């Protein structure tokens, strides 16, 4: 039985960083649910498969994967940052009540022309929507009765 999918190995090596078991487990912890876990959530998932892995290593691996462009780091709020394995350009909805984060498709036309000073080098546009997720919006409406 194979412990790792060939695709995650390929993904890592093809992004120019050395393949290590820890990086594989960390990457797979992100792929396995495709949500937006914090570093310590990733740590718990990876630990389930590799009990010896350390939190420091999870941070190192997340950094390496982010640097190499294989995953994205997302700052939705103060406190912990989150990680996203979805490489297709997209925005994030963040629920200010329960903290859930989910992907939001962005209209390609959205990548409009921005006006800023001559000489600025734009690398990346980040769109964050804030509000209440359906579950929290529901609860709030109900409690107002």
Site residues, Zn ion (CB under 5 A) = 95, 97-98, 133, 136
Q: Which stretch binds its own copies (CB under 8 A): 27-35, 42-50, 51-59, 123-131?
A: 123-131
For residues 79 and 10, what is the distance between their CA atoms, to the nearest angstrom?
A: 32
Reading the block at residue 132, the tokens are 């209440």
Long-range contacts of range 48-51, CB-CB < 8 Å, 24 or more positions apart?
49/25, 50/21, 50/22, 50/25
| Residues in region 57-116 near Mn ion by CB under 5 A | 84, 86, 103
Smaller CB separation from its own copies, 3 or 137: 137
Cα end-to-end span (Å), the chain? 55
Binds 103, which of DNA, Zn ion, Mn ion, none (CB < 5 to 8 A, cut-off by type)? Mn ion
The binding site for Mn ion (CB under 5 A) comprises 84, 86, 103
């Amino acid at each position: 039985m194979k412990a790792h999918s060939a695709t995650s190995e390929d993904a890592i090596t093809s992004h120019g960083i050395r393949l290590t078991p820890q990086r594989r487990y960390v990457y797979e912890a992100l792929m396995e649910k495709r949500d937006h876990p914090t570093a310590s959530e990733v740590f718990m998932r990876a630990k389930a498969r590799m009990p010896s892995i350390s939190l420091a290593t999870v941070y190192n691996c997340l950094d390496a994967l982010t640097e190499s462009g294989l995953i994205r780091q997302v700052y939705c709020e103060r406190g912990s940052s989150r990680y996203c394995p979805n490489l297709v350009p997209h925005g994030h909805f963040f629920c200010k009540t329960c903290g859930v984060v989910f992907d939001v498709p962005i209209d390609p036309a959205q990548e409009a022309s921005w006006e800023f000073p001559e000489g600025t080098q734009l690398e990346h546009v980040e769109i964050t929507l804030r509000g209440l997720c359906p579950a929290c919006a529901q609860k709030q409406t109900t409690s107002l009765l």
